Structure 1
Amino acid sequence: MTALSSTRAGVLISRAGGLAVVVAVIGLLPWLSGRDPALSVLRARSAEQEPTVEALDSVRRELGLDAGPMALFGDWLGGALRGDLGRSWVGGVEVLPSVLAGLRVSLTLMGAALAVALLLVGALCASTLVRGSRGTSRTRTGAAAAVLAALPEFLVATLLLVVLSVWLGWLPPYGWQGPQHLVLPALALGLPAGGILGRLVDDSLPAVFEERWVVLWRSWGCSPGAIGRAAVRRALPAVLPQFGLVAVGLTGGAVAVEVVFAVPGLGRTALGAAEAQDLPLLQGSVLALVLLGLVGGVLVAGVRRRMLGPALRDAALSAPPPVSVPVSRLHRAVVAVSAVVPAVVICWGLLGEPLRVNPIVRLASPSWAHPLGTDSLGRDVLARVGHGAAATLTVTLLVCLGSFLVAMVVGFLPGLAEGAAETANAVPPVIAGILVAAIVGPGSVGASIAVALVSWPPLAAHAAALVQEIRAATHIAALRALGAGPTWILTRHVLPAVAGPVARHAVLRLPGIALALASLGFLGLGAQPPAPEWGLMLAESLPYLERAPWAALAPTGMLLLLATLAVSLSTLPTPRTRELRPLTPSAPDVRRTRFSRRVGAGR
């Protein structure tokens, strides 16, 4: 078996193992939650009934809970394979019809969002495509598209709700009664997805237009339209995997969007089931969301294989190298502003009291005493923003550090790292947050665990790629030939070469981790009241948008600046790694090593 086939086998095994773990977690939710399933059923049916031993035993016998977790998990899995997801603990109705009803709504919403995303991709790439086909210089897509790509869906949904519904009154804010109710949710999901895909395609097209075949086609007199179509076909296969990730991200983003606009979709069903501890309905909803993401990824992979054709199906077709663009002064100014303004607001807010309640000034407009106004309980918004940032930053740093350490360990197992990354991409942070909240309960700890579970695999995949590249390098082979031991090579050469790039990658993910934590707080899966957390503050202010929009705009503005900072940092050029010197017996770093002294003594 070749090394390539061995790696592929490891990836397939890890994919199957990851899916099996997700299914097992879903199936064992009644026992992983740490609560007695019989007590949960009894509370769901009648909150006032006394949980006596006889009543609990009756529920266990009725549902077969006395058979134990593994036996009931086998029954649940067998029923799921037959299309039977059991009955709701709260309503007593069958779960499958409720899941299918929510799935139809979610598929309609995701289809409309995908149409919005594709239209935005066409708009962002039109200028580059036209200019490249004609052989003229390119233009950039702009900072607005970059910021849009970094925004979480719940934040875009809030902005659209405030501007287009509350302020302008153009569209209805809530409900699912007609096509007009589809516009805002589709925009909230489609705009970030289109920003991501548009930037990816737009960044890959200029390098395609610089390839030799384009010059040859122009010399033959091919029309710009034919060249443009061929360039798109050349650029798309390399970025199609990102289309799959965006399709998976729509399933997680739909949860928050459905909550904001009160859309009766599958994500809102899953979140409501988690809050009510209706575990059978939660199991069916989360299983459908995970399978929806996996099916989207498989479909995109199939389209990519068909576009590549039989000759390139098993080849690794990489994206053309992006054309380097110098960093402008405006770009550096954006980085400075998006970092300095939040720092000033946070430091100012830390001087106030975030938990002090004053009903006399509730929903007060901004003033000198309260620069950002007050919320529905009369608490100072500026103080809550400042203290919430300090808590969020601490948790974000801990999650990032833990993800980095795990990635450095798992990165030395390439097959496991790649498969784990793909499995984690099929489970968005919101879905992981729902599962973790069902097990350990909602809170900061559960949100941190959920975000960490989906944060380390991309770093591990990066580390695994670097480990494979460094182990195959010429200087490593020379070190082995000189008698260096595996431990010495690992600690002196491989680890230092891997740790630096992966650490920079982890730092670039800090704003994304903070936004993920904020999204879980917005959904009620993270920090609980009265904690001053940005996502929770935004959720608490939504019912008062018409009376006090500033209470929602303060955390929204901070999250916008955080997203801007994330995009600005990710597009800054990274410092080049120092090129390794040729390994010779006279090099100072070799003469100082123990094994080189032994080689010299042998001479």
Structure 2
Amino acid sequence: MRPLTARTAGTVAALWRVGLAGLLLCGIALLPWLSRTDPALTVLRARTLERDPDPEALAAIRRELGLDAGPFPLLAQWFGGLLRGDAGSSWISGGEVLPEVVQAAGASLLLVAGALAVAACVAGAVSARTLWRGATRRGPRPQRGGTAAVLAAVPEFLTASVLAVVVGVTWGWLPALGWYGPQWMVLPALSLGLPAGAFLGRMLDDALPGAFAEPWARTAAAHGVPGRRVARHAVRRCVPGVLPNAGLFVVGLTGGSVAVEQIFDIPGLGRLTLQAAVAQDLPVLQTGALALVALAAAAGVLARLAGRLLLGPALEAGALQSLRPAPRADRRWPVLPLLCGAALLVTTAAGLLRDPLAVDTSVRLEAPSRAHPLGTDALGRDLLARVAHGGLDTLLLAVTLSAVALVVGVALGLFPRFSAGLVETVNAVPAVLAGLLVTGVLGRGQHTAVIAVAVVAWAPLAAHTTALLTQERAATHLTASAALGAGRGHLLRRHVLPAVLPPVVRHALLRVPSVALALAALSFLGLGTQPPAPEWGLLIAEGHPYAERAPWAVLVPTAALVLLGVLSVGLSTLTPGRRHRSGPTGLGGPGTGALPGHPGLSAGPPAGKPDTRVGEPV
């Protein structure tokens, strides 16, 4: 069989992506039919508050909603209504869905715009030192970690909780609840923008030394071009490599905004969709989920267009080479992550000896003491015990999910023609949005969080596998082995898998804390583990109403998640480099163009090679 031409392969990939997007839309449209929670019962209780539903009334509601007609009429009815500008009526309030969603989307877009402004400022601050060193010819080099690494490791809902408790409640500097003007926008925008800006700033900071080391920069310096001008062009050279990941971060902001809007009581699209998922108001959930997916897709398209505009003719001519940051000269163990890991280990060991479910109402919301070193919650339960048992359960579940994601990611990543569009589609669906959709079908519970995270966790590993596979296929020793008669099975066992598996396994291990944080985020939103389980995200949600009276009820589980996040950043800085004779396939190695500290995130294709990557891991 002759290989596909570039144009044919592009057409097949485009059709595959369109088909996957259509399947996603159909899944959203069929939520009432897929739901196992009986939508008719939800509507009946919202209308009459009957405890014992009448079967005849339920049958009448099913006929009214068209649930008995089957999936295809339901699909045609929903899409036909959207074409007419009618998204149906809410099952809870009875009002029209579309105007409510449009109004909520306006608040969310304003919040995301503020978050992007904060992220741009933070990214500039993180990379300012390296940019200054390059402009003054002092030898730019990326930073090893610091505050930016810590901020990048903390999810949005944790940042929002800390800012709301400390800045809004304890200090009273800014309002922590509501959406009434610019003053109320500061803390939510900081909550979303600080982690995103820190991560993007680290990416830009890692890429700048490679730009300053390119021939054009050395030539300009030799001819006396001012350093500021060279620095300005270096930023323009690096920004297109960051933009695809900036687009993915906007996708992440759509998921993170759900938690931030819930914490700060913002009437945005995320909060509206969350409330609809919890109340099983499926028409609102359908339209809200569609709006979130459309926002994520638009962000990706705008990021690609902006990258093309910045690169200009160099992209079309294929003259652009990849940025190859210099490898880190040191492999020292970072002190702060090790201390965080030790503190987390000691806390878990001490708390496992206590009962996390023992209730003592006489010590409700008691401050830390000798009897309760980390204080108690609203029911008098020991927070040390609950944090320890919750951490153990969360980490075990995260390890299991990461192992499953590793197997699925490698299996799909080895077939890039099949998985390319699938990876891009899944990358456009944050874990929180997946949790909302799963909740609409199966209801709330630990299974919701597990399924939602499992649906999206494999995509970064598949993209990383495909990138390494593409690199390995271009290796000279593989071509020579094939020319000598080696079969596909031999090449796969002896060459491809030994080069691909070690870095992808390390990538999966580094993503274990991220999986744990995703599970905690879903539990915090009330979509995952339910009370009285001592899950970290659930502990933060339970203590949030008492933040002013007992701030330790929020700060203790928040601190545990922060320690876990900082530990993951420390592990990422220890990523090994070259491990295989075929070339540098290690995470963060200079030969892959991967950004140090960010496994699988590549600044571009290898020099002289076309960009055949299928997607960027989150």
What range describes the TM-score normalised by the shorter chain of this pair? over 0.9
Shift of 1:116: 0.8
Q: Is the 8 A contact 1:520 1:526 kept in 2?
A: yes
Q: Is the 8 A contact 2:126 2:205 kept in 1?
A: yes
- 1:85-117 alpha-carbon deviations (Å, 9 max, x no partner): 111111111100000010010011111111111
Shift of 1:68: 1.3
| Larger mean Cα displacement after TM superposition, 446-455 or 119-128 | 119-128
Shift of 1:551: 1.5
| Uncovered stretches (5+) of structure 2, i.e. residues with no partner | 584-618
Aligned: 1:396 with 2:409: no
Q: Distance in 2 between matches of 1:234 and 1:375?
A: 52
Q: Is the 8 A contact 1:185 1:261 kept in 2?
A: yes
Q: Is the 8 A contact 1:417 1:457 kept in 2?
A: no
Shift of 1:201: 0.9
2:201 aligns to what? 198
Q: Is the 8 A contact 2:152 2:196 kept in 1?
A: yes
Q: Distance in 2 between matches of 1:139 and 1:401?
A: 35
* Bigger-Rg structure (1/2): 1
From 164, 168, 171, the counterpart of 1:161: 164
* Matched residue type, 1:451: V
Q: Is the 8 A contact 2:331 2:574 kept in 1?
A: no
Matches within 5 A, 1:173-572: 173-313=176-316, 315=318, 317=320, 319-327=322-330, 329=332, 331-572=333-574
Shift of 1:462: 1.2
1:112 aligns to what? 114
* Matched residue type, 1:179: P
1:135 aligns to what? 137
Q: Distance in 1 between matches of 2:24 and 2:156?
A: 24
Shift of 1:128: 1.8
Shift of 1:255: 0.5
Q: Is the 8 A contact 2:412 2:462 kept in 1?
A: yes
Shift of 1:467: 2.3
Q: Is the 8 A contact 2:472 2:582 kept in 1?
A: no
| Uncovered stretches (5+) of structure 1, i.e. residues with no partner | 582-603
Shift of 1:66: 2.8
2:153 aligns to what? 150
Q: Distance in 1 between matches of 2:234 and 2:248?
A: 23
Paired residue secondary structure (2:316): coil
1:63 aligns to what? 65
Q: Distance in 1 between matches of 2:579 and 2:100?
A: 54
Q: Distance in 1 between matches of 2:446 and 2:15?
A: 33
Aligned-pair identity in percent equals: 52
- 1:364-412 alpha-carbon deviations (Å, 9 max, x no partner): 1111111111100000000001100111011101110110111121112
| Larger mean Cα displacement after TM superposition, 502-511 or 470-479 | 470-479
| Larger mean Cα displacement after TM superposition, 49-58 or 155-164 | 49-58
Paired residue secondary structure (1:506): helix
* Matched residue type, 1:419: G
Paired residue secondary structure (2:380): coil
1:600 aligns to what? none
* Matched residue type, 1:112: G
From 117, 123, 126, the counterpart of 1:124: 126
Q: Is the 8 A contact 1:29 1:438 kept in 2?
A: yes
| Larger mean Cα displacement after TM superposition, 398-407 or 77-86 | 77-86
Change (3 A) 1:92 1:566: same
Q: Distance in 1 between matches of 2:370 and 2:52?
A: 54
Shift of 1:139: 6.0
* Matched residue type, 2:303: V
* Matched residue type, 2:213: E
Q: Distance in 2 between matches of 1:448 and 1:49?
A: 31
2:18 aligns to what? 16
Q: Distance in 2 between matches of 1:74 and 1:344?
A: 57
Count, aligned residues: 580
- 1:238-292 alpha-carbon deviations (Å, 9 max, x no partner): 2211111111111111100000100010000000001111000010111101101
Q: Is the 8 A contact 1:14 1:415 kept in 2?
A: no
* RMSD of aligned Cα (Å): 1.9
Q: Distance in 2 between matches of 1:315 and 1:291?
A: 31
Change (3 A) 1:378 1:461: same
Change (3 A) 1:323 1:139: closer
Shift of 1:311: 4.5
Q: Is the 8 A contact 1:446 1:526 kept in 2?
A: yes
From 33, 53, 77, the counterpart of 1:51: 53
Shift of 1:328: 6.5
TM-score, L = length of structure 2: 0.90
Q: Distance in 2 between matches of 1:268 and 1:113?
A: 17
Q: Distance in 1 between matches of 2:564 and 2:63?
A: 53
Shift of 1:161: 1.1
1:592 aligns to what? none
